[in-house]
Structure 1
Amino acid sequence: MSSDDRGPRVTLSDDQWRERLTDTEFQVLRRSATEAPFTGEYNDTTSEGVYRCRACGAELFRSTEKFSSHCGWPSFFSPLAEDRVRYITDTSLPGAPRTEVRCAACDSHLGHVFAGEGYDTPTDLRYCINSISLTLETTGD
C-alpha cells in the first residue's frame, strides 16, 4: 500500500486480488465485467449507511445520495467526495462513449456515470454501480 493526500492506496497483483475476491467479484472489480440487472443485493436497498468499495473498503457513496432509477443497479447522484472515484472514458461498446467509474483507492471497476437523463436529482447524474462492487455499512437500527 502507498498513500498520498487522498488517503491510502491499495496496489495488489492479480494473484493477490484473486485471493481476496470471489471469482465473480474479481471479474467485475478487476476486469470491468457487469453483473446482471436486477440481481444485485443493493438494487432495492433503502438502509441508511455508507457504501464502501468491496475490494479495499474505501468509503465511496452514502445512502442519502442513493435513488431509485429502476435501471437494475444501485443508483447514486454523487459520490461521497470527488476524490473517492476516478473517471475513464469507456469506448468498449459501439456508439457513444460512456464514463466508467473506478475506486480512486484501488482502481477497481464500480460501474458507469450518466448525465442528462432527466432524473429529479440535484446533480442530474446517475452513478450506475454494480452491487457486487460495494459493501454497505449500515448506521442506526
Structure 2
Amino acid sequence: MYIKLALALCLLLTGCNGNSQKQNTAMTQDDPSEKKFEVVKTDAEWQKELTPMEYQVLRNAATENPFTSELLDNQEEGTYVCAACGTELFESDTKFKSGTGWPSFYKEIEGNVAYDVDYKIGVKRTEEHCATCGGHLGHVFEDGPEPTGLRHCVNGAALDFVPSSK
C-alpha cells in the first residue's frame, strides 16, 4: 500500500508544472563565467578605474539602493552606456518610469547586452551583463510595457549617460 502511494505521489509531483516553470526566461542565456569578453582587466585595474559603488555593482553584482541613482529621473535624449567600458546599452527613447526605483528600459541595444540565469534570491531571474566587459547591469523581467513587454531593471551605477548631439 505504501509503495503504491509513494509511486502515485512521485508521478503526481513530476507531472506538475507551476506557472514559474512555464515561463521562459526573458532572453537567451549566456554563462558569463565561460564567456571571453573583449575587455578584460584585473580586479585591481577595475577598482582603480571605477568608483566604489560602480565596482560593487559591475564587478560583484551588488544592487544599489532604490531611488538613489542620478539617472533615475533623467529625461534627456541620448544613450546609456556601460560605466566600465563605454559600450552603448540602451537608448533614451526606450526608458520608462517603472516605479521600482531603478532606471528601466523596455529594449536593449541588440548584441550589447548578455544574459544568464541567476538564483541568488532563491528564485529564477534573468540577469543581464555588458556583452563587452561582463559588468553586471541588473535583471530583466517580463512585466514591462509594449512593444516588448520587458523591463530591463538596471542599476544606475552601472550606467553613464551620453547626451544626444542634436
Distance 2:118 2:77 in 1: 31
Distance 1:13 1:65 in 2: 33
Distance 1:120 1:131 in 2: 20
CA RMSD of aligned residues (A): 1.3
Structure 2 equivalent of residue 4 of structure 1: none
Structure 1 equivalent of residue 52 of structure 2: 23
- 1:11 aligned onto 2:36: no
**What's the CA shift for 1:121?**
2.1
Match of 1:120 among 115, 120, 145: 145
Structure 2 equivalent of residue 5 of structure 1: none
The alignment-based identity, stated in percent, is: 45
Question: Residues 62-120 of structure 1, C-alpha deviation per residue, up to 9 Å, x if partnerless?
Answer: 00110111110000001011x101101010002x21110000000000000001x2x43
Letter in 2 for 1:52: V
**What's the CA shift for 1:44?**
1.3
Query: Residue 145 of structure 2 contacts residue 151 of structure 2 at CA under 8 Å; is this kept in 1?
Result: no
Residue 56 of structure 2 aligns to a residue whose secondary structure is: helix
Structure 2 equivalent of residue 3 of structure 1: none
Paired positions, count = 130
**What's the CA shift for 1:23?**
1.3
Distance 1:139 1:25 in 2: 23
Distance 2:156 2:69 in 1: 5
Higher strand proportion (structure 1 or 2): 1
* Moved segments of 4+, more than 3 Å: none
Query: Residue 130 of structure 2 contacts residue 136 of structure 2 at CA under 8 Å; is this kept in 1?
Result: yes
Residue 9 of structure 1 aligns to a residue whose secondary structure is: coil
Distance 1:110 1:120 in 2: 20
Distance 1:129 1:137 in 2: 16
Residue 109 of structure 2 aligns to a residue whose secondary structure is: coil
TM-score, normalisation: structure 2? 0.75
Higher helix proportion (structure 1 or 2): 2
TM-score, normalisation: structure 1? 0.88
Larger radius of gyration: 2
Distance 1:86 1:17 in 2: 20
Gaps of 5+ in 1: 1-7
